């Protein structure tokens, strides 16, 4: 009699473990690859703004790069790598906004003229880096409430620019003067 009970218990344990593994696998993969914050809030219920939030005052947007922010005596800058970069703009307002992102591409320290391609919401724009002058880049953007937009930055030729420094990096372009112009609600 004991062997039958052992077989039954072992079978139930195996079935339970198997169901647990199947459940875990099916719940490990998201249905959507990216769900914006405002849609998550809609799915899970309304999120009220903080008590100190004023609907009529625009909060600044957050700007992030893959490249780290670096500092010089005159201002902050980003060294974009030859592998490219990603600009992330995040709207922390409870309303949609629009504006213009503006920055400078500095003179290439290695003297290489490059084409820099920036993927925007309207398509891609091309800018040049020159041996003797900086290039001003500006493009429009729109961001839904509590969401982010992503803009790719790649360059050609892929010939790296190496500068004597402690960290071995391959530079594409130096980005300075980063700012948002004409930020307003998109109602």
How many C-beta neighbours within 10 Å does residue 79 have?
A: 22
DSSP states of 75-102: -EEEEEETT-EEEEEE--SSS-EEEEEE
Sheet holding 171-185, edge to edge: 69-71, 76-81, 171-185, 97-105, 135-143
The pLDDT assigned to 159 comes to 65
Using left for φ > 0, alpha for ψ between -120 and 50, and beta otherwise, residue 12 falls in alpha
Confidence of residue 142 (pLDDT cuts 50, 70, 90): very high
Main-chain dihedrals φ then ψ at residue 55, nearest 5 degrees: -60, -25
Query: Residue 24 above 90 pLDDT?
Result: no
Structural domain boundaries in the chain: 59-185
CATH assignment of 59-185, among 2.40.160, 2.60.120, 3.80.10, 2.60.40: 2.60.120
Q: Report pLDDT digits (tens) over 28-87.
A: 766 666 666 656 555 555 556 777 888 888 989 999 998 888 887 778 888 888 778 889
Compute the CA torsion angle 174, 67, 65, 100 (nearest 10 deg). Answer: 0
Q: What is the pTM of this model?
A: 0.69
């Amino acid at each position: 009699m004991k062997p039958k009970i052992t077989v039954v218990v072992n079978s139930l344990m195996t079935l339970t473990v198997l169901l647990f593994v199947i459940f875990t696998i099916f719940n490990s993969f998201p249905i959507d690859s990216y769900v914006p914050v405002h849609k998550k809030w809609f799915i899970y219920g309304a999120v009220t703004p903080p008590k100190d939030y004023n609907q009529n005052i625009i909060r600044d947007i957050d700007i992030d790069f893959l490249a780290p922010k670096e500092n010089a005596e005159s201002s902050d800058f980003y060294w974009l790598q030859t592998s490219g970069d990603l600009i992330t703009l995040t709207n922390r307002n409870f309303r949609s906004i629009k504006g213009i992102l503006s920055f400078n591409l500095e003179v290439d320290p290695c003297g290489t003229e490059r084409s820099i391609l920036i993927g925007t919401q309207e398509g891609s724009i091309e800018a040049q880096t020159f041996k003797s002058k900086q290039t001003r880049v500006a493009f429009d953007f729109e961001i839904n409430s509590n969401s982010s937009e992503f803009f790719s930055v790649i360059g050609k030729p892929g010939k790296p620019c190496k500068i004597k420094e402690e960290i071995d990096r391959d530079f594409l372009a130096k980005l300075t003067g980063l700012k948002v112009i004409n930020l307003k609600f998109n109602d």
